[in-house]
Amino acid sequence: MSDPVVLDIRALSSEGAGIGSLPDGRVVFVHRTAPGDRVEVEITQLRRRWGRGRLVRILTPGPHRRSAPCPHQARCGGCPLEHLEYPAQLDAKKERLEEALRRIGKLQDLPSVEVHPSPREFRYRNRVSFTLRRLAGARVVAGFHEVDRPDRIMDVDEGCLLPEEPVARAWGALRRSWGPGAGRLPPGGELRLTLRGTAEGHILLLVEGGHGEAGDAGALLGEVPGLVAVWHRAGPSDPPRLLAGEGEVEEQWLGELHPVRPGAFLQVNRGAAELLHDLVLRELAPPRGRTLVDAYCGIGVYGRRAARHGGRAVGIELDPQAAEVARARAPAGFRLLEGAVEARLAEALPADLVVLNPPRSGVADGVMERLAATPPERMVYVSCDPATLARDLARLGSGFRIGRLQAVDLFPQTAHIETVVTLDRTGSPSEPGNSIQLQRA
């Protein structure tokens, strides 16, 4: 679009792109750059206040830039921060969290953020989704979207450093086994392939999109190591259908056996997930004799654990498949309300303790206001997006104070961060406490 420009990169965006500024003050986002870099950039998109650029060359590298371990990283959109040393990734995520809480939530006097790194920097994902696109001449490309051209698919083999080793081996074998034009998979121009591995090494494949019957999905079971089931879902609202293999596979997860089915949510980083769950449970202790609401509960990890330790817990979950898993073999003292949290929360209150673990969009309108009107002694908010977390905390008003801020890196090499916020109900003015009251700046 124009001659290259020179930018100094000062920070990272929520997508992991470097942030620099043009002489006229407009902010420019450039993938594959790092704080401290001086870079030459081709401007690819320019708006009144911001623009996007494509990295041409690095003039001076920043102090924490490294050579990306994965050969695909220059074009692949799967690991936007891999060119940054891991401690610097954590620092960037911490800064992004603090900035969101202050700028969006208008919160001040925050406690220091305690950052917990992932036990594994690479090979940590037990679930990975790839896009498969059929091309002319029975050709197939399968992998992740390209970083600067998201309409294109970057072909990615088992050398990808994100999946756990058994999942990576299964992906490589699947690519070699699906036949010309991926004819053993359901027909269709584009498919989404999700491989899910259990701790025991079993692999499930969910194929989404396409139509009709798969050519020979059953043959894949004997050729892909660990593969025990192939499922298909034509549309996002359709129930998954078993094409071949075992309909019931169980996973040992936080001391319980849970059925692993397409659509049922379990964290993708099992080591960091155990750390995250332990942090949340410590903030909730002791549950004995107390009532807990586990909102957006998924399979009910926190509520079921509290019930097993003498508490009374109510889980609230919208997804029917996750709700079914949460009910299965539920301990005494745990019950489930199926439906939207904003619709069912009033039935579960009042409570001593509340866990909020919403999707990236945060809690629905009215949820924080209802909790402020019927405040529990303590809430623990588990968030995967600093912006919506900040928005939701601002909705609480002054009835709670932040006792602790913890960040867990569930997704190394990406810009995502998981946050655990402990919120205590505000006592009388004379009540001592080491928590910080929510304040608007």
CA distance 416 to 81: 10
Q: In the beta sheet, which residues pair with residue 402?
A: 423, 436
d(CA 53, CA 30): 5
Residues with Cβ within 8 Å of 133's Cβ and at least 6 positions away in sequence, in order, are 140, 141, 142, 153, 189, 190
Q: Where do we find the tokens 């001391």? A: 255
> Using an 8 Å Cβ cutoff, are 376 and 425 in contact?
yes
The two structure tokens encoding residue 358: 């919403």
**What's phi and psi for 184, nearest 5 deg?**
-80, -10
Annotated catalytic sites, by residue?
384
Q: Which residue type occupies 119?
A: P
Chain centre to alpha carbon of residue 238: 23
Q: What are phi and psi of 115, to 5 degrees?
A: -105, 130
